[in-house]
Each structure stands twice: as structure tokens, then as C-alpha cells.
Amino acid sequence: MIKDFECVQESYARDLLREKGLKSTTQRLAVIHVLHTSGKSLSVGEIHDGVKKLLGVAGLATIYRTLDIFEDLGIVKRLHFPDGGHGYAFSRGRHFHHMVCVDCRGVFDFPECPVEWLDYASAEKQGFRVKDHFIQLFGQCDKCAEVA
């Protein structure tokens, strides 16, 4: 087992996994470590590479399975990019929204949820009951703005 993994997300993940009777394996913690040190959203391939660098070997299938679990647990969120691609990033929970820098794919919390402020009058007028939503903001972060 590799030391130096400690971060908020790790202990949180350990707890959630334990609650569900799932195991905190080296590979799962490595995925967390990779996401943590990158500080941005990563593609499946990038996560796979990071875990391989950390552990020597890692099956791509394990990465997929791990990300599925983490997404269910709300630790991680699948983000969609304007170019059609997608990636994964930490999330503070299933119902948090994120801002993504289109240049570096860095991820920032977006604390407000504008949808909650909204009454669903127009939705109900169409006979639609809103149960959940997905929001993602695109833009440019500080650092990428400087470079440009």
C-alpha cells in the first residue's frame, strides 16, 4: 500500500465504501490520488496512466469499474465537454455543480444552484415534473486567462 494518499476525498471515500460493504483497495485509492494531485478533470485514459505510474500495473477495466462506483457514491462526477468528450472530476456530492475551464479542464465548485431558485411553473404547464438536473458551466480560469 502506498503512503501519502491522504486527502479529504480519501477518507470520505473510505467511509462511503465501508458503508456499502465495498473494499478500499489500492487501486481505488490510487484513482483518488490521481484525481487529487491533478486538480482537474481527467479522461479515463489519463486516470489509467496516472494509476499505472503509481502502481506499476493497472487494468483499464478496473478504472472503469472504479469510476462507476465513485460516480454512484457521488465522489466523482462525469463531466461533458463542448467538443463531445467527457472526463471525471471530484464532486462534493451527487448534486453539486461545476465550472470547467475549457482550456485546462480545471474544475471549480459552483456553490449556488440556480435551478433551486426557480419555480417550475413553466415545466408544470407542460405536464412535466422536474426531479433532477444537470448543470455545468464553461469558461476560463485565472491562469488560462493570463496566458491567452
Partner DNA sequence: GTAACTGCAAAAAATTTGCACACTG
Partner DNA sequence: CAGTGTGCAAATTTTTTGCAGTTAC
Question: Which residues, 51 to 70, sit near DNA by CB under 7 A?
Answer: 55, 57-62, 64-66, 68
| Binding string, residues 105-144; x marks residues near a copy of itself by CB under 8 A | ---xxxxx-xx-xx---xx--xxxxxxxxxxxxxxxxx--
Q: Is 24 in the site for a copy of itself (CB under 8 A)?
A: no
- Of the listed pieces 3-11, 16-24, 116-124, 133-141, which binds DNA according to CB under 7 A? 16-24
CB of 112 to a copy of itself, least distance (A): 6
> Is residue 33 classed exposed, middle or buried when 0-12, 13-18 and 19+ CB atoms within 10 A define those classes?
buried
CB of 33 to DNA, least distance (A): 13
User: Which does residue 102 touch among a copy of itself, DNA, none (CB within 5 to 8 A, set by kind)?
Assistant: a copy of itself
**Helix, strand, or coil here: 100?**
strand
- What b/e string do you get for 49-88 counting C-beta neighbours within 10 Å, with b at 16 or more? ebbbebeeebeeebbeebbebbeebebbbbbeeeeeeebb
CB atoms within 10 A of CB 139: 12
